[in-house]
Each structure stands twice: as structure tokens, then as C-alpha cells.
Amino acid sequence: MRTITKLAICLALLLSVNKAHAQETFAPLISENCFLFIHVDLSNIDIDTIKNNLQQFGEDGLRELGFDEAAFAATTRELAVELDKLDSLVRPFWEALTKEIGITEFAIIADLGFLERGALVLVVPWKDKTDEQFETFYTLLTLSPDIMQNIDGFLFLPENSLMTEAVADWAKSITPVPADSPIHEALKSVAGADIKVAIALPEHLRQMAGPTLEMMGFPNEIRGLIQFASQRVQWASTSLSLPEILGGNGMSDVLLTLKTPRRTDAVMLRGMMEQAIEFGINTAQFAANMAANTQMQHEDFQIPPVVFSFAKGFLRALLPEVEDDKLVLRMKWELPELTRGETVAALGVGTVLLLPAVHAAREAAKRMQCVNQMRQIVIALHWYHDTYSALPPLHTVDANGKPLHSWRVLILPYIDEGALYEAIRLDEPWDSEHNRQFHDQMPSTFQCPSGSVVGCYYSVIAGKVYFEVITEPDGTRKFGGTPFVPAKEAGLRTGITFAGIADGTSNTLAIVEVREPLNWMDPTADVTLDELSKGVNVPEGRVGSNHPGGAGAVFLDASYRFLTESMGLDILRAGGTPAAGDDTRGWNW
């Protein structure tokens, strides 16, 4: 138990790191042969702050769970006692490391100087340290003093004792590079991060890329990308900023940057990445078809084309954006606030400390379930298109042009709801006496697990759909039309074809989440372009969700995007219409 609690508080310490120091401490160790440098700063960790955060967070969690005053007081006292015990375990270790020895940062370096005998070495600043501090250090970390090299104010910790001689020879022969060298520039690009990673290949390694790739037999599309990147990417950097999540909101940001000499190089590199994705997925699709046709001879082995379309869309979503002479990829993870009723009642102190993780995991699972269900709907649309050579209409109509049944009813056979489909009378209105009995029998595919807030619990309202398509019901086509239009005449169950989507399936929205659901059988229960263009989670619009920060959406190629509340309205509108010429570049974040 002592080991588990010690690990738990150490994790809490790590997650409470604030801003990192700059990497100048280790500048003397960065030579022209250094191709990887990782810097970690621990200086802002404060035991008292963390302890107070844990106590406050536990109390907030108990209040959210509705504990009465007596139970609240008793549990908070127990929490304080347990935190004191954890404090007594961790504080001596941490104070010995940071105060007695003075270690608040370290680096991991990869250098060609010792690459032949080992890849990495860990380095700790050791200027003016005493023998007593050295003994305390290796005893504290249970390390062997024999592998440590104390050279010129740095303590080198190789991976094993066989590397000690190589590391010592390397450390004594280092000639530092200037402060404007690529590896330093890479580190400066992530100077404010807690964990910084910089990569810059030496020139002779770049020159080796072409012949090496020729020998390895890479296809031209892949070889061209790697060779171009090795020649034109001057440096790469990535960072991780860890949030203060204990007792409050936080955000973890990841930044990836590739630096090229000119903007045109960055544009070309991104284009080659996209071509490589296209080539890779097309090759996989061709191989799968060949296996099905020549080896397996079994139609069950056929992989639906939408699977490969989805893969392309997913990988495109991970492409970095061009920013001047750089390619930059930013990823953010927002930690949702604790919501009463969303967590399991916790009587023990341990459960109280796990409340944020439980809630974050549940919300992540709900969002993933939403993604999977929206993708199932798009895959069903593709199966429908394969059957009828067109997408379903927004809704069918009677002889007078009055709406009868939604596209959701038409795709029921393609989401394993054939029995429900057969039971519905398609020649009668959706709200006829017979069809009203199915209003509460909505398939789970159309349900969002986060649903709407009812009382103090998340729940799904029976029969209410949270996934809708984009439409222009008035037929004006003032924004260029949508992929889903009403049937033109009675008895017709087809809409537009994929060939009629000029923007392409990867640039045209299929499904979005809504905050105010309507009955799943209602043929008017979809989002208009006007409503989409108002924004996400805004009072006057319908697009939104109970997922923190925005709403989910899936394109016609089954690729997923999370529509943030800050998205530009023109970008939203462009995604809703298949018209050629829309500026959909904003979707590639």
C-alpha cells in the first residue's frame, strides 16, 4: 500500500509542473553531432501547493456527490490524515532531491559521438556539488555510483556500465555549437514548455538519406517524401505542457513543428504528406481487393470502400498546417469539469482522489461512442448508395409533396434494424396512428451517450435524435445546396449521388450533433445551413452537444472532426455544402 500511495503522489507531483526553465544550462553539451535533445524541468513543483490542491479537490468532489454535513466533515478529516501520511512519505525524498542536492532539471541527449555503443545518456547539472551530495543522490535513486561520470559540472548517467567509457570520452571531447544552430532554434521554439524535444539531423546524415532509401526499396511516393524531408527539414521540435489539474481546470497542449528554409518548402512537404497518405491507402485497398479476388475467393472477405475512405480522412486530419516556413500541428486536450451525478458515489478517500480521472475517462468514452455511432451512420449511407446508386433523400414525400419518412428510416436495414424497417408503414405519414408506436423505439445508433442533462444526471430522452444531417428545406440552394435534399416525387427513395458532390466526400459534412433533439422519425428533424452557419453551442443555433467545448461531426468519407465553439462561421458553412470552390481548408487543423 505504501508503494502504491507513493506512486500516486509522485504522479500528482509530475502533473503539477508549471513552466519549464530554458535549456541554456545544457548548452555546453550540444555539439554538431547532437541530433536529439530532451529537456525536463521540475523546479516549480511545490509539495504544499499540491497537498492543498488535493485537499480542496477532494472536498469539491464530496460536495458534488451531495454528502451531508456530518459525512462531509468526517470524510474530509480522513482525507487530511491520509494526505499527511503521503506527505511524510514523499516530502523527504523530494526535498532531498531538490533542496539538499539541488536537482531541478535534467536532459536526455543522443549524440553520434557515442551512438555506436548506446543511444541515449541522461545528464544532470552537477556544478559545485559535494561528495556527500553525490552519495545522497545515488542512494536516493538506488543507482550504482560506478556508472555515473562527473565531468565538467555535469553528472552523466549512461544506460549501463558498458557505456561509461564511451560517454566519458564523448563528454571530454564536446565542442559546443553556436546558439543559432538548428538544435538550439528547435529548443527555442518550445521554450515555455515543461517537456521539450528537439531534433536536428547533422548534414552528413541528411546526405545519406537518398542512397539508403534506394537500397531499402521504398516506393517512389514514400521515398520522395522521406528524402525531401531529410533535405529540407532543418529541425523539428515537440513539446508537452502539463496542466495544474489537481483541484481545478487545466489543459494539456502538444505542439509539433517542422522548420523548412522557405514557405514553399513547407507547402510542398505538406502536399507530399497528403500524396503519401493517398498512395498508402490506395495500395492497401488494392492489396485487400487482390487478396479477396485471387486468394480467398470469398465475398465475406470484401472490405467496404468506405473503410479506406475513412482511413484517408482520419490521416488527413492529422496533417500539420503551414505557418510561414514551418509545418505546425497543435493538439489540445481539455479536461472537463466534474458534474454531479456523473461520478460513482465514493465513501473512501482513494475514490475521492480518483474522481477527476473517472469523469474524464467516462466523457472520453462517451465521445468515442458518439464518433463510432456517427461513423456507423455514414457507413450505412455508403451501403445505401451502393444499393440504389444514390444517397437517400432527406425524406420521402406523398403525392402532394408532403414529407413522409426521414432518411433515418430508409437506412434502417443498413444498421441491422431490418425488423423495425419492415414494421413501419412507409406509405403512411411518420406520425400516423400506426407509425406513432415506433416513435420511442429509436435504434441505439442514433443515440448520443451524453444525451441531455435531465435533473442532475446525463440521460437519453426516449426517441430523440442527436445526430442530424445538413439540409436546405426551402430549396433555395442559396449556399450552393446540401448533400441531402427531399425526394422529388412520391415513391422515390433516392437523392443525389457521390458524383454530384463537387467538393468531394472528405470536404462535405454528413452528420453533426445537436443540442435540442427532435423525434428520430420526424422528417424535419435535421439542421439547416442557416442553423449550422450560426455557430456551435450558441443560443440561437441548434448545432452543439453536452461534450465540453463543442460538438462532433463526421464527413461523408467517415472522417471525424470536433467542431469547436470558436470555429469560423464561413468554415462551418463551407463544410455543409458540396458546392465546388468552397474554402474548406479550415477543416484541416
At residue 474, the pLDDT reads 53
Which 3-state string (H, E, C) describes 507-540? HCEEEEEEEEEEECCCCCCCEEHHHHCCCCCCCC
Nearest to 534 by CA among 482, 567, 510, 569: 569
Mean pLDDT by 10 residues, the chain (589 residues): 40 40 77 88 76 79 75 83 83 87 88 71 89 85 77 83 78 88 90 84 72 62 79 88 42 75 87 84 76 52 71 82 88 47 35 43 60 83 89 91 93 91 93 92 78 36 81 53 82 86 78 86 87 82 77 82 75 61 43
Q: What is the largest CA-CA distance in the chain?
A: 95
Q: What is residue 87's predicted lDDT score, i.e. its pLDDT?
A: 84
Instruction: Quote the CA–CA distance of 589 and 577 in Å, as a whole number.
Output: 19
Q: What pLDDT is stored for residue 437 in this prediction?
A: 93
Distances (CA, A) of 175 to 27, 113, 169, 427: 10, 11, 13, 83
Q: What angle do CA 338, 340, 341 make, to 5 degrees?
A: 120
Q: CA separation (Å) from 506 to 33, 340, 510, 532?
A: 43, 38, 10, 18
Which of these, 418, 403, 474, 416, lies nearest to 445 by C-alpha position?
A: 416
Q: For residue range 365-400, list pLDDT tens digits in order.
A: 566 677 778 888 888 898 898 889 999 999 999 998
pLDDT in tens, 260-317: 998 888 888 888 888 888 888 888 877 777 665 554 444 455 677 777 777 877 888 8
Q: Determine how many CB atoms are found less than 10 A away from the CB of residue 19.
A: 12
Task: List CB contacts of 207: < 8 A, sequence separation 6 or more.
Answer: none
Distance, in Å, from the CA atom of 385 to the CA atom of 375, rounded to the nearest integer, reads 15
Strand partners, 321: 328
Q: What is the pLDDT of residue 5?
A: 41
Pairing status of strand 470-471 against strand 527-528: parallel
Return d(Cα 510, Cα 236) in angstroms, integer.
Answer: 36
Give dist(CA 471, CA 404) in Å, integer.
Answer: 16
- pTM equals 0.50
Q: 544 vs 456, 510, 515, 548, 573, CA distance in Å? A: 19, 15, 5, 10, 15
Radius of gyration of the chain (CA): 29
The backbone region for 504, taken as left when phi is positive above 0, alpha when psi lies in -120 to 50, beta otherwise, is left
